Structure 1
Amino acid sequence: MRKVTSELFGLGILMLSVPFAAVAQQADNYSFTADSKAATSFTRDANKAVYNQLDFNNKTAFEDSRKGLIAPLANNGVIDGGVFNAPGLNFMQDKQAPESVNPSLWRHAQLANYGGLFKVTDHIYQVRGQDLSNLTIIETKTGIVLYDVEYSPKALAASIALYEQHRGKKPLRGVIISHSHADHFGGIDGIYAAGLAKPEDFKSGKIPLIAPQGFLEEAVAENVSAGNIMVRRASYQYGNVLQPGERGIITGALGPALANDNSGLPIPNKSITKDGEKVTIDGVDFVFYLAPQSEAPSEMVMYIPQWKALSMAEDVNHLQHNIYTLRGAQTRDAKVWAKYIGEAVARWGGDAQVQFGPHTWPVWGNQNVVEYLKNQRDVYQSLYDTTLRYANYGYRPDDIAEHAQLPKAVFNQWDNRPYYGNTRNNLKSTYVRNLGWYDGNATELARYPDAERGKRYVEAMGGEQKVLDAALASFKKGDYRFAVDLLNNIVAYDGNNKDANYLMADAFEQLGYQEENALYRNWYLGAAVELRKGGITSNGLSTTSPEVIAALPPELFVNYLGMLVDQIKAEKAGNATINLKLSSGAKFALDLHNGVLNRVPDFQAPKADATLEISQADLLAFASGKSSLDELESAGKAKITGDKAAVGKLNGIFALNLKNNMNLVLPLQPENRVK
């Protein structure tokens, strides 16, 4: 039997040729159970091989990640209510990697999970290890500016309390949000809990709340419009469905874990719209440059000239990032990502003395900062150039991902390892970003969806037992990738074959144990939990609470409701033109036409069937079925003029009963299917 290893990624995952013949007797000595399994010999060998591929004697990162520690996290980093468990995520400190964890990922967890209050440099402090992202506190002339505010309000409040315990309570002079991802703004309500500000302080502009151009639109598109499915996928990606431990979550890579909490949504009162824009807050100059379509659709980097302090936001980290994130989002542009980092080297390479960011740990000293930036730049430029070069030779995305040769001088550096962004995924994603999902093989155009395809494959192979036997043969030879591929043909349409479910879970588990990428590990192990439990219940993550939806700017709010219209029910309700007047003063022309709720902002139709005057909160209550129009009218919360029956056509057409417990491997549950 010939073994083929991938030198490209250094993962040590064994790819073995496996016979397809049915081997029924294999099942006689295999335990098809729901229990978690230990690492197999193939996994042990794969993980041992990693020690020979990377320089584990280099301890620089350990020194840097602990530099400037003022105090450990309060209460050992535990936030009650199951929000955060820092001790559970630091069990790996000062220990050797077990057989069930890739040693490179174990090493990174020892670095990324280490938390406390740190001094970055004079005037700049960070709380790390309390959420997936850092809280950076910048001390100004008479107060503080908060730079990114974590995902969880409870985590943010704990971080602020830790800072105040050691540096004193100072008035809040400003908030800066670097980009449109929830782990950087979701904790906004923690500012209120900490007593630093009130919501009206931001609404009035008394305290500047600064974000890049397009922030709110992109934040809503990602975390509200697509929020239900994205947060479900995020619970697998970040390991929120797993327990900390050698067979569970090790790290979130960018930080220890995503706090298990509901996020908020800030409304900026100041947008950065041009490169080089300077904002002075309480005696400190902040210079901003826009970096859209890099790590986020709306992102900006920042330089503080007085202190020669640079923050590249999430465009540089002590790891390789995602071109496409598994939780689902717009595919990013590796080419412009590299360009922004290159421009930073040209712009600040002669001056910057420290680089700090909302994830991982800082870099100190001009020479180190420049080398760090150049190395990160090289990752994204290499991904782009390699993908396009191979594509122009006719390679398909999967072939590029498996066979492209990349420079070890770039990809074997600790700061560029694939702890968060998987190199194979990044190559495929760069192909899709530039050429789309279609690889040129017409077979892709005719492909059935998984369930229909699976039924036909299983029938062609001679039934489910034949497929199970072939998958078990693959499993016993260490080819876990092919085992799950075979078993998916059953599981895609039949969630009741326990042997198939449990064997698929076991194979996913071994793939997770071998993974250097934290997100792939979490996803593989989360898939195993789903298969063993027959589905996973909902989790504590949410970016679409009723409070967040009701507080959206009017146009984004109305667009959100339009997205949730059940168009089959709306088609049966019939056509209607309705002028909507919200209590905020916003106006819309709603045209319910052929089942589609079209909306035109800042306009009133001259020949509307009716006019509805109502607040956003009450319109949301009506749309979600919590209040009827009659009840709202009687209470004076809604006013209808014209044809009341036209407004009545909106009744029952909104599908707001989204559940956050959908299967992602097993067939979709009946309660989650579109009715």
Structure 2
Amino acid sequence: MIPTPLPPDRDYGVSDRRIRAGRAMCQTPKDATPATVAVNREAVTRYAMDDRQDFVDADRGLIAPLPGNVLGDDGHVVFDPEALAYIGDDVPAPDTVNPSLWRQSQVIRRGGLYQVTDRLYQVRNNDIANLTVVEGDEGLIIIDCMAGVESARQGMKMIREHISDKPVAAIIYTHTHIDHYGGVKGIIDVEDVASGKVPIIAPGTIASFDKFAIGENVVAGNAMARRSFYAFGGLLDLGPKGAVSCGIGVLSTKGPQISYISPTDGITETGTKREIAGLEFEFLYAPDTEAPEEMHIWIPELAALTCAENANHSLHNIQTLRGARTRDARNFARYLDETLERWGDDAAVHYGPHTWPVWGNENLVGFIESQRDTYKYIHDQALRLANKGYTPLEAAEVIELPEELGRKWHNRGYHGTLHHDVRAVYTKELGMWDGDPVTLHPHPPVESAKRFVDLLGAQKILDEGKRAFDAADYRWAAEILHKLVFAQPENTEAKNLQADVYEQMGYQAEGPQWRGIYLSAALELREGSQPPPYITASEDSVLAMPIDILFDFVAVHLIGDKATDVDLHIDFVFTDHDDETWTAWVRRGVLNARRGAASNTQLTVSGPKAALIGALLQPGAAAELAKAGKISLTGDESALETLGGLLDTFDPSFNIVTP
């Protein structure tokens, strides 16, 4: 009785979209307009196209190519490396792809098992994130586990075949994002962690890591997943008119199994050391950076350093477009500088959980310094302009990186972009309001749109949209047509024209997430809302939720206005957690929970955590669970039925570009 991903045996590609949308045929993406062709060709002059070092570095140390498809337990293809073959090294950037993004994708599509340095290896690009393996004297230390069990399993098989069959001695999570822990059960068994045989080391306390890893992906998971599939192109077909790469990894993963095992050893102080399998690891604790909990790792014997995702072959997000807590750009710079201060003189290689390493002390130091100064520049210049009265959008329009920073490929906007990172600094430091009274209490989009259409007339707006499109004034065309589409969502001509506009904006975008959003919007306007490839609130994630987060998850499902007059108290006894008891109550339209039993409880539900999760998330199934002997009910059994009637359901394909 736990929410599960969509069935993995379906091909969530073009044919499945046709079935789900109830259409006989999908509309074919259109060609680049002459204006888009000109913009993309002109863009080449802004880039250091003669700098090919990334290609050399991405190929360095190859031991074995990827062996073929990553397959799920049921035989479905999770990842097909040949799906990216169209991004060939000798293939020039198509007119429909920004040449900078095309170049980055050419580098990224290289996959296989690589030696980074003595005793340190990576499997790259059979998943959005890397699998890093350090060979210790008595065992293997795994640093980050990829997003999916299947890809991690394939990576470990390559390690076993080509490197070592030593047992896994430890797992290290560098931070709290799903693509760094989701494959853990493809590497180790839960029993080995529970017995203490294999520790899992992670930044922060165990409770805080669980809170941020699970809470971020589950409590707000439906909205975040919907936005993620937009931003990462998960709803698009691969190809020059669709998805190319996500800028820091490959895209063609479908229906992976996402797992989770809680860490057992938390790192909360910089300078903490651990001796693992005969090697020393030293940690720099870097919270509130790219993730709420994050850390850098130094292996002195190997002169090997990772700054996790605080230093990348891309500008990172200060505020993700998928929707996560706003990061602190100043902290990025601060912890990168502290890393250089501690280990910069001795480091010989920097390896990351995404993309490829940087070798040589001079190159490594220059790389980290450049990333440090990029985040510091964004932070400081955004606040300089804020102090001069600029709004976020006004500042984002004028701030440009100095040429020494901006022409470095690793500072280009392949994950975050300069434009939305500048605006994110405002959000972090000054909040959501931009300071303009007109934005303090505006009309909602539909009401505003209807008033615009009533004032100007639908035909006049449509004519202006056509004029702007023909003039390649795509930003204005999108803005004006948005009013018409939200006022008249049944207006097919307006929707199709807006789709054409978004498509060209996507073709021009250097940032792959901007491209993904624009092209996904075009797809949805033409064909309707698309089903997600998978759901991030996997069974493992839900089962791993700390009990307080579990009740938070249930609470965000409560329909407040239906529950305003309800007074409901239910106790839950977690029999597999030493009979830990929590009471949950609904009153004044709010669900609260705390440890301990209530004196006025109406019902007590007892059972193991997995069964209680089923009773909480699907209260209507409680009688069935009780009949099966999985839970016991003492008291008024209708209390759960009452709770069930107050819980909302979330559509994973809710509308974005229409009301």
TM-score computed with the length of structure 2 as normaliser: 0.91
Secondary structure of the equivalent of 2:292?
A: coil
CA distance in 2, matches of 1:540, 1:315: 28
CA distance in 2, matches of 1:556, 1:600: 11
Unaligned runs of 5+ in 1: 1-32, 192-196, 668-675
- State the shift of 1:640 in Å: 3.7
1:141-186 deviations in Å (ceiling 9; x for gaps)? 1221111111111111111122222224321111111101111111
- Matching of residue 376 in structure 1 with residue 371 in structure 2: yes
Q: Which residue of the partner structure matches residue 88 of structure 1?
A: 83
Secondary structure of the equivalent of 1:146?
A: strand
CA distance in 2, matches of 1:259, 1:286: 32
CA distance in 2, matches of 1:239, 1:312: 27
Aligned counterpart for 1:212 among listed residues 198, 203, 228: 203
Distance of aligned partners of 1:446 and 1:186 in 2 relative to their CA distance in 1, 3 Å threshold: same
Equivalent pair of 2:149/2:184 in contact (CA under 8 Å): yes
Q: Which residue of the partner structure matches residue 275 of structure 1?
A: 270
- State the shift of 1:49 in Å: 1.0
Q: Which residue of the partner structure matches residue 657 of structure 2?
A: 665
Q: Which residue of the partner structure matches residue 435 of structure 1?
A: 430
- State the shift of 1:100 in Å: 1.0
Secondary structure of the equivalent of 2:446?
A: helix
CA distance in 1, matches of 2:636, 2:249: 55
The aligned amino acid for 1:394 is: G
Distance of aligned partners of 1:458 and 1:119 in 2 relative to their CA distance in 1, 3 Å threshold: same
Secondary structure of the equivalent of 1:490?
A: helix
Secondary structure of the equivalent of 1:147?
A: strand
- State the shift of 1:120 in Å: 0.1
Equivalent pair of 1:621/1:627 in contact (CA under 8 Å): no
The aligned amino acid for 2:361 is: N
CA distance in 2, matches of 1:283, 1:405: 47
Which has the higher mean CA deviation after the structures are superposed, 638-647 or 51-60?
638-647
- State the shift of 1:482 in Å: 0.9
Spell out the pairing of 1:168-179 with structure 2 (5 A cutoff).
168-179=164-175
Secondary structure of the equivalent of 1:126?
A: strand
CA distance in 2, matches of 1:546, 1:307: 38
Unaligned runs of 5+ in 2: 1-25
Q: Which residue of the partner structure matches residue 560 of structure 1?
A: 553
Q: Which residue of the partner structure matches residue 235 of structure 1?
A: 229
Secondary structure of the equivalent of 1:571?
A: coil
- Matching of residue 523 in structure 1 with residue 517 in structure 2: yes
Distance of aligned partners of 1:78 and 1:391 in 2 relative to their CA distance in 1, 3 Å threshold: same
Equivalent pair of 2:225/2:322 in contact (CA under 8 Å): yes
Alignment root-mean-square deviation, CA: 1.9
Distance of aligned partners of 1:461 and 1:82 in 2 relative to their CA distance in 1, 3 Å threshold: farther
- Matching of residue 144 in structure 1 with residue 146 in structure 2: no
Spell out the pairing of 1:470-619 with structure 2 (5 A cutoff).
470-536=464-530, 538-572=531-565, 574-583=566-575, 584=577, 585-601=579-595, 603-619=596-612
Equivalent pair of 2:620/2:644 in contact (CA under 8 Å): no
Aligned counterpart for 2:301 among listed residues 292, 306, 325: 306
Equivalent pair of 1:239/1:522 in contact (CA under 8 Å): yes
The aligned amino acid for 1:198 is: D
Aligned counterpart for 2:386 among listed residues 387, 391, 410: 391
- State the shift of 1:639 in Å: 3.2
Distance of aligned partners of 1:643 and 1:502 in 2 relative to their CA distance in 1, 3 Å threshold: closer
CA distance in 1, matches of 2:491, 2:167: 60
CA distance in 2, matches of 1:155, 1:381: 36
1:20-52 deviations in Å (ceiling 9; x for gaps)? xxxxxxxxxxxxx94421111111111111221
Q: Which residue of the partner structure matches residue 6 of structure 2?
A: none
Secondary structure of the equivalent of 1:71?
A: strand
- State the shift of 1:425 in Å: 0.3
1:612-649 deviations in Å (ceiling 9; x for gaps)? 32332222333344754444444443334455555554
Equivalent pair of 2:227/2:322 in contact (CA under 8 Å): yes
Spell out the pairing of 1:130-209 with structure 2 (5 A cutoff).
130-191=126-187, 197-209=188-200
Aligned counterpart for 2:445 among listed residues 417, 431, 450: 450
Which has the higher mean CA deviation after the structures are superposed, 584-593 or 50-59?
584-593
The aligned amino acid for 1:440 is: G
Q: Which residue of the partner structure matches residue 469 of structure 1?
A: 463
CA distance in 2, matches of 1:71, 1:635: 50
Distance of aligned partners of 1:546 and 1:256 in 2 relative to their CA distance in 1, 3 Å threshold: closer
CA distance in 2, matches of 1:465, 1:151: 48
The aligned amino acid for 1:666 is: T
Q: Percent identity?
A: 37
- State the shift of 1:258 in Å: 6.3
Distance of aligned partners of 1:631 and 1:76 in 2 relative to their CA distance in 1, 3 Å threshold: closer
Equivalent pair of 1:90/1:110 in contact (CA under 8 Å): no
Secondary structure of the equivalent of 2:76?
A: coil
Q: How many residues align?
A: 625
Secondary structure of the equivalent of 1:612?
A: strand
Which has the higher mean CA deviation after the structures are superposed, 319-328 or 259-268?
259-268
1:213-233 deviations in Å (ceiling 9; x for gaps)? 121110122101011111121
CA distance in 1, matches of 2:108, 2:642: 53
Equivalent pair of 1:138/1:146 in contact (CA under 8 Å): yes
The aligned amino acid for 1:622 is: A
CA distance in 1, matches of 2:535, 2:277: 35
- State the shift of 1:512 in Å: 0.9
Secondary structure of the equivalent of 1:587?
A: strand
1:455-494 deviations in Å (ceiling 9; x for gaps)? 11111112x2211110010000011111111111122243
CA distance in 2, matches of 1:295, 1:533: 35
Q: Which residue of the partner structure matches residue 61 of structure 1?
A: 54
Q: Which residue of the partner structure matches residue 287 of structure 2?
A: 292
Which has the higher mean CA deviation after the structures are superposed, 129-138 or 632-641?
632-641
- State the shift of 1:319 in Å: 1.1
The aligned amino acid for 1:501 is: K
